[in-house]
Each structure stands twice: as structure tokens, then as C-alpha cells.
Structure 1
């Protein structure tokens, strides 16, 4: 059972050239590709929040902050230990200290789930999927906050 949880469901993610990592601009809700190098990622069909990715970007934090939507309350989720480029504790600590910044990559990448990107000043960057306020309310059977997309019966 341990092997199934830690290894079996994950698969490498294919990132189409020029579309590797997307961020949502401040002036739009349409995500756009940013410069991303050495992108590697994993995902699993068994859960919408198993996605993790690591990459580097030459874009500065000031440029990113002026151009892309920040992500409020980012919470990097732990990944499997064997995906060693991604360390949720390190990312979370840097975000809490203001040493890294989080941005909205794609809202509602799955119903109730956003893709989040955190970038460090040295260009290291990480992405994960996080349950958003709509998903939290839905999964905990509470009233949906204003602005949430309607929930279909098959979700």
C-alpha cells in the first residue's frame, strides 16, 4: 500500500514548448506563458492536488510582481520524497519570511483547485495545485463564497 501511495500514481508531466509555466496577468484572467527553464513536474490522475513542478526563470521578482496576480494564502503541499527538487517546507518558510513570492498560475485548473507558482529571488521556482476557497467550501459542504463557479452534480 505504501508503494502505491508514494510511487504508483505519479507520472512525469509533459510541458509543451512555450507553454511550460503560465501566470495570470494583473490586467487579465487569461494566463500567459512566462520564461521557464529546466521544467520538471509530476502529477497523478488520482487527485487534482498531486501536481508539483520545479523550474528556473530569469524574470525578477519586481517584474513578476508588477505584471502578475499575487496568490494570497499560498500553502505549498508536500510532495513525494523522491521528487527531490521540490521541498514544501523550504518553499513555505521562504513565503512566510517574504523571501519568495507566490503568484496565481491558473485559477480553477480543476474545479475548486488553483495552480500556484512561488518564485525565489535567485530564479528558482516551484508550482503546485492548491484547493481554493470555492473548493474548500464545496469539499466541506459549506455555502460557496460569492464568485465561485456553479457546482455540477457530477463533480
Structure 2
């Protein structure tokens, strides 16, 4: 069985750089893209402690994830790598870093290649870093592309 590489994609230039890196450096592997939908996508608050859930908003986020998977397939095809590399796509819902780590563990991933926005200082502390969390907790090698 060949190498299985996981590439989280969110549509940002950084995630596409990671995808392109994986495609060009893991010829012959199975590459799986995963788009993680925030479980709060579609939840709105009235600031009074209540709130409501709009399922259509969540569904649109899932559809966007599927569209990103198709864009990945087109990019890989344009690079001519689909002849030797298997490309799979997935859309998952959950907290981003945890969902990436769980997906990797449950799907026998050998390597994770992901983009980083390169935030530092206060921005990283306030916003967190998905790439950093994945790199620290992953049971497999992680390549972070900027």
C-alpha cells in the first residue's frame, strides 16, 4: 500500500500552496483533501442567550467544501498528476484541528501537508493556529507550507 497524504483545504492561497506542494512532491501517493466545516456555521444568536440554527447556511458551507474538492481535482488534472496519483476528497464537520487529527487517525494517513497563514504574536494567540495544533498533536509527520 502506498503513501496516504492528507491536505486540509479551506480555499485560501495557503491551502492551495499546500495542495500544490503535496501533488508535486508525492507522486504516486493517495492524496485526500479534507474541508472542515465549523459546526457553528449556521448558528445565529439574538445576543439574549437564545439563538437559532439555519440549516441552509450549514448546507451551503458543505457544498462549498465539495466545490473545493472539485477545484482540487481540476488542479491535479492540470498538473498531470491524476495518471499516477489517486485523489480523494472529503468534507467533515467539527472543530477544525481536532477534526483533521481524527480524520488522519481514522483513515491511515501517513503524512499531513497543510497551509499556514503565518500569523504571529497576538494574532496567533487570539485566533489560535490550526496548523500549529495539528503539527504538535499529529501522530504522523506534518509539512506546513506558507
TM range (shorter): under 0.3
Higher strand fraction (1 or 2): 1
Higher helix fraction (1 or 2): 2
Tell which has more relative contact order, 1 or 2 (C-alpha 8 A, sep 6+): 2
* TM-score in terms of structure 2 length: 0.26
* TM-score in terms of structure 1 length: 0.25
